[in-house]
Structure 1
């Protein structure tokens, strides 16, 4: 009975772990805001957790716990520990960690540990690789059909008809995954004897190669799928600046965006990326260094060196096609990590191939792996201890994961409702999302904006009743409360402070002291995002609207220093100078604009007339300024005026 149970539980665990690996390039669900990577991770964690439970039952059946130790075991444990420790130190209350990198890395450690324990034959790995090729073939075919626009005439949802659609998640992710899979298909094609199998392998390789060429070409600069990647020098600069204050454990696995805004190098303002933000570094090694510090990167490099030690061939032994395929796949993924940051799919494939590397070395002579059976005079004591600890951890983790995942699905429904202008449904769904996961700042931010939008819509009515006035006040107060909550939950996130500043700006002439609160919020945002010229323009526009023209001109001057080729900065400063009766300085700014603004800009006729009108107010010999070197095609916009006070509405007080 026990022998049969042990055999069946081993098979079920192996099947579930293999299934999570094979399905990773294919699986997605349109239920959350992120259709692809998030749901791939949830599937991986779910199947791995169920497999872990069957492995625990297997331990009871065999009467002991068998552990497979290898050169990568301790480094992997250290890497997972670094992710956990960095998360606990930097963002202990962030509920999103349950569905982001920390849970993924810890899940990967358990996955490799259990999978490598259960693999007892190279044939198992070869079978899994065959199924992975089928999975890759399906992903390739779907992407080719999308790129060739063969889905465009169907009744599929818009995201499925997009040329960039990929089951893997994105054209860049698809290309990198196919690069890892292609050698497997080619090696099997070359190793197998002539026949139908050889033909199928070559056909699969040809299709993958065709997709790589077609999609890869569109990833080139200026092409349709050009990815938005942080330049390598910028990634290194942000990493080194982060280490000055957080050298050992970094800023936290989910904190790269905050590090980017805080330490964005000024040279980015001279590039096309000047107004972009990034949630990941230039490559995965810089990303690990920034988010988990020296300990995280060192432990990950130790994993690589441990893997190299693991696969080192013993003199006189030959390498099999399966071993060569797995080794090349791992090497390609580690090389890809030099050029791009990893997504969930990259980590899942790496976990699987590392487990295969351990499994393939269990059956070799003079193996570098070691199987240890934990036994005791007390029957089943070790299986019981392992089961108790891991089941408690699993239960607690899935309690958290389910809550966050349900919140994500509800929040996604609210965004769908918002796109359909279903205001009440949007409002109620966002309340439910916050109730499920109250510590996620994104939900509070969206709910704040929903409240303000409802208040604005209601205030446009004529002849408001007392009840409607009270509802408007309540909505405004809720908007402020939720925006403040978002700031409290993630005070290092510049966009949260920008949102708060914009909210207060919209309430000027409606709520008392809103102008002061708006200024304070913008100043805090500037401290967190000091190299952002667009933020300076926005803050300068607020000061201009408040008729603080001297201060506004100074802020616009800072925007010019940050990005000297942005015409709108000069234009806004010129407007401030005009208000201060400094027409000569304003004209000098207009000369800069004249050099920067392209001749075919839609703003050119209006600008020429304004410059002519300003020139008429100057002395006969106006001073000139040296023109800027680089042209930029940007629209000219004056600072936005403050909102008009509502009719017959007494301003509400703010705390």
Structure 2
């Protein structure tokens, strides 16, 4: 019937759109430019595909969900995620995903699994071929978008700022150093390129056999473009994934002997000569080979010229206080394993790594340059699943991978080239050369995902390929004959009612997605106003976000901070009535957030900001705010026991409220957590001195009598330590130290 045919078209073109637009889409008016929009597009197209598929089944009066070899592992994996969400540290985060990321939450996993079955139940080999081709076309656009940014001309800045440069990015996101194109981060872009490289190589080989080689040349150029952009990402995991997947692909191709050996060798040399040329001009994927590249040779020549022109001048020694990412990653992995040991079966909850890591973060993390960063992922997909979903979640996840890898290797082993020229077929599979080489390419692409996931984590497009590459494989290896058109009885009233109901539900779900997206745009703009201290302009936008999506705690939390800051301003203007009203709203919102999400240390930290703003302006209730701030810090220290900043703030507040002995203990612990924490040493020295004089008043009394010489000496030693090790030119420390030494 026509309606069933329309449903099929909707499903197909939705999948085409998914693989074309997801890598490309981004918006500048959302809180996160890239992943948020890609995830929302995936949700939207999943709803469309779901509505079309269910309507098709209603018309056909049958439930047409194909069985696959991955059914049991997928069901176990889904059960593990549901159980983990139920017992999660934060079920809201586990369901939706960590805000701004969203990928990895239960809802996204449900979408990927649904898409897996929708694809395998509705698409055929020719549709898979189109999806793969569309993926390459989208990849070409993505790579071309990112390519000029390496040279200082980023099209994204042209779209956002109207200038073709890289000035729209902060120093932490300079595409001239590491390209990320429309993916958002270099590592994500590299993972995406590694999926496409085996496919582009395979399409080159397939079409190089034909007389018309224009398409083969395009495929060759696309492979070179992808490889060049991969170099521009400057990611070790991406380079390692390419090397391994490329070796695997060519080992399979040479072993299967589809090509005459000389022909295959020629194509191999053409491709890798092009890759080597790119490496020479732009950088090698292996660090030890970089010294032979043009950029490094030029640096050596420049350095030699500088030395010879002025032999008396020595090159400046470059110091780098940035901790190596590999060292930081090892610490994060250690914390992830410690968190899993505490929650071994079902983990801490889907996508709750940020909360789990805070509780089990190694103290050594305070010694890194990223000591105060928030880590919402383990930077290892497998450890991330282990921490957040336990051994059940990781075990079922590995079962999906292991089962698919076993089936791939088994099928690849079966494939043999038939030397009989009359049949020109393959013995194990009745397919042509192209389909078999695509199987090899899909296998290599999947291997690259496994490698990049080991050193990072999946984003939306990588998750799509992770779940749907197996579907491509099963469709190619087990084709179904759909040439015969089935006839169905006319649609009756009951069927029409069901179809209209399904369509209505899909429209409502799509509308809810849009409202959430629209609320985020209001939140994003309001948050940006807050960052530049335009609090009055931010208030209506944040309130709008909360009204549109009242169940999102991120919006309430930001609105509470905004209200507290506005209340502070009114108090300072002697408008206590308005200030009190705004303060009450801020506290009420903050109460709602921490009551519903008590394990999120970020919300507790923000509550402290709120209390600080109110306590420094509302003198009438200052004691009450200080008391609550102390409770907040104690709770925060329980959620993040190795966070040096929380420990420091707790120590300072204890000292300010007169609990000097406790303050000293906490600050001594702080200096052990982070030996280079100058502020902690400064506060510790001050409290030592107050203990030496038995002084608990704030500000300090001018008449000081030393009653505890031991504490006085500790104070002197602490400030001397600051001068000797951190701040030798700090006049304030010097003057204070001089005063203390003169005291008797």
- TM-score, scaled to structure 2: 0.73
Give the conservation status (yes or no) of the 8 Å contact 2:85–2:349.
yes
CA distance in 2, matches of 1:45, 1:389: 19
Residues 1:305 and 2:418 aligned together: no
Aligned-residue offset at 1:597: 1.2
Aligned-residue offset at 1:448: 1.3
Kindly provide the CA deviation profile for residues 577-604 of structure 1, in whole angstroms up to 9, marking residues without a partner as x.
12223321012213432443166xxx54
CA distance in 2, matches of 1:265, 1:180: 34
Partner of 1:56: 54
CA distance in 1, matches of 2:498, 2:722: 70
Q: Match for 2:82 among 81, 84, 87?
A: 84
Residues 1:176 and 2:191 aligned together: yes
Aligned-residue offset at 1:379: 10
CA distance in 1, matches of 2:155, 2:508: 44
1:602-617 aligned at under 5 Å gives the runs 603-617=729-743
Give the conservation status (yes or no) of the 8 Å contact 1:181–1:329.
yes
Residues 1:444 and 2:553 aligned together: no
Structure 2 unaligned regions, length at least 5: 238-284, 288-318, 417-427, 430-434, 693-710
Compared with structure 1, are the counterparts of its residues 227 and 51 closer, same or farther at alpha carbon in structure 2 (3 Å cutoff)?
Answer: farther
Give the conservation status (yes or no) of the 8 Å contact 2:564–2:613.
no
Partner of 1:495: 602
Aligned-residue offset at 1:450: 1.0
CA distance in 1, matches of 2:12, 2:488: 26
Partner of 2:345: 248
CA distance in 2, matches of 1:523, 1:166: 43
CA distance in 2, matches of 1:488, 1:420: 29
CA distance in 2, matches of 1:586, 1:206: 64
The count of corresponding residues between Structure 1 and Structure 2 is 599
Q: Match for 2:570 among 458, 469, 475?
A: 458
Compared with structure 1, are the counterparts of its residues 481 and 295 closer, same or farther at alpha carbon in structure 2 (3 Å cutoff)?
Answer: same
Partner of 1:192: 207
Partner of 2:96: 97
Partner of 1:515: 626
Compared with structure 1, are the counterparts of its residues 392 and 93 closer, same or farther at alpha carbon in structure 2 (3 Å cutoff)?
Answer: farther
Aligned-residue offset at 1:380: 9.8
Q: Match for 2:712 among 583, 586, 598?
A: 583
Compared with structure 1, are the counterparts of its residues 102 and 385 closer, same or farther at alpha carbon in structure 2 (3 Å cutoff)?
Answer: farther
Residues 1:213 and 2:231 aligned together: yes
Residues 1:334 and 2:334 aligned together: no
- Structure 1 counterpart SS, 2:65: strand
Aligned-residue offset at 1:251: 1.3
Q: Match for 1:596 among 719, 722, 725?
A: 725
CA distance in 1, matches of 2:328, 2:559: 34
CA distance in 2, matches of 1:310, 1:257: 35
Partner of 1:347: 463
Structure with the higher helix share, 1 or 2: 2
Partner of 1:638: none
- Shifted more, 497-506 versus 43-52: the winner is 497-506
Compared with structure 1, are the counterparts of its residues 417 and 505 closer, same or farther at alpha carbon in structure 2 (3 Å cutoff)?
Answer: closer
Give the conservation status (yes or no) of the 8 Å contact 1:120–1:362.
no
- TM-score, scaled to structure 1: 0.82
Partner of 2:517: 405
Residues 1:564 and 2:675 aligned together: yes
CA distance in 1, matches of 2:502, 2:87: 23
Compared with structure 1, are the counterparts of its residues 305 and 217 closer, same or farther at alpha carbon in structure 2 (3 Å cutoff)?
Answer: closer
Kindly provide the CA deviation profile for residues 146-179 of structure 1, in whole angstroms up to 9, marking residues without a partner as x.
2221149975425884333521122221111112
- Shifted more, 162-171 versus 136-145: the winner is 162-171
Residues 1:274 and 2:371 aligned together: yes
Structure 1 unaligned regions, length at least 5: 366-373, 619-655
CA RMSD, Structure 1 to Structure 2 (Å): 3.6
Q: Match for 2:112 among 92, 108, 112?
A: 108
CA distance in 1, matches of 2:508, 2:344: 31
Partner of 1:284: 381
- Structure 1 counterpart SS, 2:87: helix
